[in-house]
Amino acid sequence: MKQPGIPVLFAALSLAALSSCGVKNHPPRPDHIVIVIEENHGYNQVIGTGNAPYINQLAKEGALFTNSHGVTHPSQPNYVAFFSGGLQGIKGDECLKDSTPYTTPNLGASLIKAGYTFAGYSETLPGEGFLECSYEQVKGYSYARKHAPWVNWQGNKENGLPASTNLPLSSFPSDFDSLPTLSFVIPNQGNDMHNTWIDGDTAAIQRADRWLKDHLSRYVDWAKTHNSLLILTFDEDDFTPDNHIPTLFVGPMVQPGEYADSINHYSVLRTLEAMYGLPPAGAAQAAVIKNAWQ
């Protein structure tokens, strides 16, 4: 029988190898991911406006999801859903002070169990492992525990997280090679578009945009040559039924463009889990985001 030529044989082997590795069904695996979550603004309040030039620059450099939605209202259940694939019974912004009640699977614990690393960095958090509801040094620019969902799993219980994963933003490494595999960066409530009462809605958007550029642009530039990714999203919009929020991915593995796939926080969580071969947590059975990759 005639043997296939080398190019044909090589192609067949390559396709088989890709299939066996699951490349067709899985997104790429970044060396590092940093996730920033902003607050309480809808897609049309941010994207395409002059109030957020840096965010709009990132939207052009990366993958912009034009049909992205929060899971619910108000803020805290969205953070918990993003982190654990479920609402964990939380319906509002009530603080679970001095309590870390949950033992359910979550993104941080799954990463650690699989041999990866995780941390959450919160601006204005006064110290590692802090459990109180809030902390404020300048009025309006406060840390809020409701925006740091990993705190609810802190401890030695099943699926628990060590206090060393609950860190102030001042611990965010300047040497990005030292970053955890995956981390969250949470601005305080004066810098995440939340506290519009400080000086108005427009100023809150502008301030958050400048904050993002000041704190993350160096990471974004580094990520482009270090197989790493920035994800920027919002917890919810300004309390509409549609809950339409900006979500964008920026990194060298991303195919720039606009994507109309309907996604939500569960979709992003499921994609992160797929990247690192983690089991789906809770309700995170949403489809993996597949169209945005190089």
Q: Identify the structural domains of the chain with CATH numbers, from first to last.
A: 31-275 (3.40.720.10)
Regions of the chain where pLDDT drops below 50 = 1-25
Nearest-5° angle of CA 212, CA 258, CA 201?
40
Q: Are 151 and 131 in contact (CB under 8 A)?
A: yes
How does pLDDT run across 177-233, given as a tens digit for each residue?
Answer: 999 999 999 999 999 999 999 999 999 999 999 999 999 999 999 999 999 999 999
Predicted confidence at residue 284, as pLDDT, reads 57
Torsion of CA 230, 233, 235, 237, to 10 degrees: 170
* DSSP SS3 for 130: coil
Residue 9: Cβ within 10 Å count: 11
Predicted confidence at residue 8, as pLDDT, reads 33
| Token pair for 147 | 């925006």
Predicted confidence at residue 107, as pLDDT, reads 98
- Helix, strand, coil percentages (3-state) for the chain, rounded to 5, are 35, 20, 50
Predicted confidence at residue 242, as pLDDT, reads 97
Whose tokens are 């960095």? That residue is: 121
| Token pair for 49 | 């406006």
Of 241, 221, 240, 291, the C-alpha closest to 263 is: 291
Instruction: Report the DSSP beta bridge partners of residue 64.
Output: 248, 258
Ramachandran angles phi, psi of 186, nearest 5°: -115, 110
Length of the chain: 294
Q: Are 233 and 269 in contact (CB under 8 A)?
A: no
Q: Are 252 and 224 in contact (CB under 8 A)?
A: yes
Whose tokens are 């797929």? That residue is: 274
| Token pair for 113 | 């169990």
Rounded to an integer, what distance in angstroms lies between the CA atom of residue 195 and that of residue 290?
35
Ramachandran angles phi, psi of 54, nearest 5°: -70, -40
How does pLDDT run across 252-265, given as a tens digit for each residue?
Answer: 999 999 999 999 99
Q: Which amino acid is at 51?
A: N
- Exposure string of 115-124, with b = 16+ CB inside 10 Å and e = fewer, is ebebbbbbbb
Q: For residue 231, what is the enclosing H or E element? A: strand 228-234
Rounded to an integer, what distance in angstroms lies between the CA atom of residue 222 and that of residue 128?
26
